[in-house]
Amino acid sequence: MIPGPSEKKSNADTQLPILSLNDLWDKQYWHFVDIMRVELDVLSPRVVILVTGATAGERCDSILFEMEKYKDLKFEESIQWYEDFRGKICSSQACEKDGTIFIRTDRPEYRPIADQVESISELIKRFQ
């Protein structure tokens, strides 16, 4: 049976709360940390690539640093792979901890990715 007009719920009764982007990020953030922790513990990857970097915004790289085991990571190697017309530099950085190579790289967005891929490959070679 299709409800009549008097039986329908109002939009106010059925709408979900609207979250700002910051609220949504805050609600997801600690889930990201937990997922990363489990992935690192269970999968024991040889290489972890974070496609975040400076262009992804504040806190995107900090998920890794929230874990006690990785708070002291220092990205020692860096390769610049792009500079735009405004002078914005994109790069990939790497370090190693407990047999895992960690690489963070700026998001390519609309930039050509061949140089980014080459920078990641070169960083992996440096730590092998």
The pTM for the full model equals 0.76
The Cα 123–Cα 128 span in angstroms is 9
Q: Which tens digits make up the pLDDT trace of 46-84?
A: 999 988 865 566 667 778 888 889 989 999 999 999 988
Strand bridging mode 47-52 / 100-106? parallel
Q: 2 or 100: whose pLDDT is higher? A: 100
Name which of 42, 45, 38 is nearest 63 in CA terms: 38
Angle at 11 between CA 6 and CA 15, to 5 degrees: 140
In total, the chain counts a number of residues equal to 128
Distance CA(45)–CA(89), nearest Å, equals 28
d(CA 75, CA 91): 12
